[in-house]
Amino acid sequence: MNTARIAVRYAKALFDLALEKNSVNGVYRDMRNISLLCAMDEVKSVISNPVIPLRKRKDAIIALTGDGADKLTINFIELIFSNRRGEYLASAARNFMDLTRRHRGIRQVTLTTAVPVSGEMKKEMAALLDDRDPDTIEFNEQIDGSIIGGFILRVDDSYIDASVRNRLNRFRKEFSLAGYAE
């Protein structure tokens, strides 16, 4: 079976159950935390380590999710590990978050800048992106000093690169094509 389909099926089942139980908000919060946890190298190595007993891996992930985790989230983690599908936890969490965003009409925006952006600037950008309801924007901010200045904005699948690095690269390319560069 296609490995991507496995994670999608688990996420879809969890999403449907969370909708039915009216606990999408709690599970969404937990899946965001799990996604962040699974991005850590230490957690990845625990999940994929065959030397560590399956029960210990499951208990470690449940402990890392915290005491405030939704009961559905805990049951989901237990199910995914009891079916020996622990390596799909991170992608199932991402798929659950995508399903929730689509259901709520939330647009995911990633803003990459050379320096941190103020909260007021984020609100203004959210208002520009969706003047009807700025609350449907979920901001992810990334700091990357290599872009020198300006910003890179990714909205869902659209991409705007207004960085100084990008402009310098374009100038360099134009000069080399015109024969002015070495």
Q: What is the mean pLDDT of residues 65-82?
A: 92
Q: What is the mean pLDDT of residues 29-36?
A: 94
Is residue 147 within 8 Å of 114, Cβ to Cβ?
yes
Residue 153 has a pLDDT of 87
Spatial neighbors of 59 by CB under 8 A, at least 6 apart, are none
Considering the four listed CATH numbers 3.40.50.720, 3.40.47.10, 1.10.520.20, 3.20.20.10, the one that applies to the domain covering 3-102 is 1.10.520.20
Reply yes or no on whether the pLDDT at 122 is more than 90. Answer: no
Is residue 107 within 8 Å of 155, Cβ to Cβ?
yes
Reply yes or no on whether the pLDDT at 135 is more than 70. Answer: no
Listed in sequence order, the DSSP H helices in the chain are: 3-21, 24-38, 41-48, 54-65, 71-82, 89-104, 119-129, 164-178
Is residue 35 within 8 Å of 93, Cβ to Cβ?
yes
Spatial neighbors of 26 by CB under 8 A, at least 6 apart, are 69, 70, 72, 73
Measured CA to CA, the distance from residue 81 to residue 8 in angstroms comes to 16
Which of 33-42, 116-125, 132-141 is predicted with the least confidence, judged by mean pLDDT?
A: 132-141
